[in-house]
Amino acid sequence: MLRLFTALHVPEHIAETLQRRQSGLPGAKWRPLDQLHITLAFYGDATERQADDLASELVRAEGRGPLDLELSGVGAFGDNHQSHTIWAGVKPDEGLNQLAARCKSAGERAGLPPERREYRPHVTLAYLKPQTDPDRTGAWITGHNLLQSPPIRFETFGLYSSVLTRDGSVYTLEREYYL
């Protein structure tokens, strides 16, 4: 089984800017530069055949033209008053939403059930340990919430596999598609 997702890879110069913010929050496991991306669709576990079908279906999402996206603000995902993920936001963009919807549809056509959560584009900056102090998390968010990037041009998106290890996930670009 392969664990698959589609994403826009954050360019190195933007990733380096984000990396400079990755400090000052005990309990945060900061994501390395090469793992900073904007997820388009998460498919989860797939067989080899489903992965091949998905790779073929994603061709339909190509050729729509590049995207110019901006990062804006930071926040956290969580439940029961406990955050588990720190992220950088992405300004709303209809082209991005359409691309994400096309990637989701490609997964459905390949026999992969869609994720139930509403699509919220972001760049995951860190995963938080359960004992991370909520007040410190709030202070970190307040201190970095004015994050703004210039427009970032994306001309490709990728189909990635993810392998979970003791040290975290390892991502591999399986196939690249042109926008």
DSSP assignment string, the chain: -EEEEEEEEPPHHHHHHHHTT--S-TTEEEPPGGG-EEEEEEEEEE-HHHHHHHHHHGGGG-SS--EEE-EEEEEEEEETTEEEEEEEEE---HHHHHHHHHHHHHHHHTT-PPP-SPP--EEEEEEE-TT--HHHHHHHHHHHTT-B---EEE-EEEEEEEEEETTEEEEEEEEEEE-
**If we measure between CA atoms, which residue out of 172, 7, 171 comes closest to residue 96?**
7
Q: Report the C-alpha gap between 98 and 34 in whole angstroms.
A: 25
pLDDT in tens, the chain (179 residues): 889 999 999 999 999 999 999 999 999 999 999 999 999 999 999 999 999 999 999 999 988 899 999 999 999 998 767 889 999 999 999 999 999 999 999 999 999 998 888 999 999 999 999 989 999 999 999 999 999 999 999 999 999 999 988 877 889 999 999 99
φ/ψ of residue 109, rounded to 5? -65, -25
Determine the pLDDT at residue 82. 84
What integer pLDDT is reported at residue 164 of this predicted model?
85
pLDDT at 80: 67
Both tokens of 12, joined, read: 């190195």
Residue 148: DSSP 8-state: B
Residue 44 β-bridge partners: 4
Length of the chain: 179
User: Domain segments of the chain: what residues?
Assistant: 2-178
Which amino acid, one-letter code, is at 97?
N
Q: Give the 3-state secondary structure of residue 88.
A: strand
Residue 11 token pair: 């360019």
Q: Which CATH fold would you assign to the domain 2-178?
A: Cyclic Phosphodiesterase; Chain: A, (3.90.1140)
